[in-house]
A and B are shown apart, each in its own frame.
Chain A
Amino acid sequence: GAGVSQSPSNKVTEKGKDVELRCDPISGHTALYWYRQSLGQGLEFLIYFQGNSAPDKSGLPSDRFSAERTGGSVSTLTIQRTQQEDSAVYLCASSLGRTSGKGQYFGPGTRLTVT
């Protein structure tokens, strides 16, 4: 079956612009996660959605970052007024449930470059 998909694969934007990153999880997976991978910080958790519960936003680095998940499926991560330190690979992952022993399955990522 299809894996986690993300779009765009690459995004170059000017400092100060808003960007939207999209994630389409594996069908039937109720849990969805956003992570960020950058050279200086490694892999960092950003936000977590589980079913219809309120999202865990504890990893978002600032109020410029927000995410939503529509209909329990597709998720969009929005970064407003982008800064150069936002440059990173943004990874989306999904899993069957929050304690699934089969791990989280990752998409290919979106490489964001802020110039």
Chain B
Amino acid sequence: AQKITQTQPGMFVQEKEAVTLDCTYDTSDQSYGLFWYKQPSSGEMIFLIYQGSYDEQNATEGRYSLNFQKARKSANLVISASQLGDSAMYFCAMREDTGRRALTFGSGTRLQVQP
């Protein structure tokens, strides 16, 4: 069974600094996708970034990058130049491409950006 672990329930970062949110996963599948979502206090889940298991390059989307280390089964999210609007819950998720097609989510990390 697949599992996502986020070991940081809460993180603080100063505005304009970079922050890394940790995510490790467990799967026996060779083909899978890894996702990060942001959930602000409004409750909406916002898709941030995707990494495929066969992608050789780390994914980047603007200020977001995914540090993918396949052998270690980690998919950490790096947010550069943090902004106050980045304060939110962040969820790491995985989708196995050969089994259940739904996302399995980690427990989330609450990020607070301080001015």
Most buried by B among A35, A91, A101, A108: A101
Contacts of B42 in A (CB 8 A): 108
A56 engages B100 (CB within 8 Å):
yes
B47 engages A105 (CB within 8 Å):
yes
> How large, as a class, is the contact surface on chain A?
20 to 34
B43: Cβ under 8 A from any A Cβ: yes
Contacts of A93 in B (CB 8 A): 45
Given A42-B107, A108-B43, A108-B44, are A103 and B35 neighbors across the interface (CB < 8 Å)?
A: yes
**29 A-B pairs, CB-CB below 8 angstroms?**
A31-B101, A35-B103, A42-B105, A42-B106, A42-B107, A42-B108, A43-B103, A43-B105, A45-B100, A45-B104, A48-B101, A50-B101, A56-B102, A58-B100, A89-B43, A99-B95, A99-B101, A101-B52, A102-B50, A103-B37, A103-B47, A103-B50, A104-B47, A106-B37, A106-B46, A106-B47, A107-B44, A109-B44, A111-B43
Contact partner of B45 (CB less than 8 A), chosen from A50, A91, A98, is: A91
Contacts of B52 in A (CB 8 A): 101
Most buried by A among B91, B93, B101, B102: B102
Given A103-B47, A109-B43, A109-B44, are A45 and B35 neighbors across the interface (CB < 8 Å)?
A: no
A65: Cβ under 8 A from any B Cβ: no
Contacts of A99 in B (CB 8 A): 33, 95, 97, 101
**Residues 41-76 (chain B) with a chain A CB within 8 angstroms:** 42-47, 50, 52
Q: Mark A42-82, 1 if CB is under 8 A from B, else 0.
A: 11010010100000101100000000000000000000000
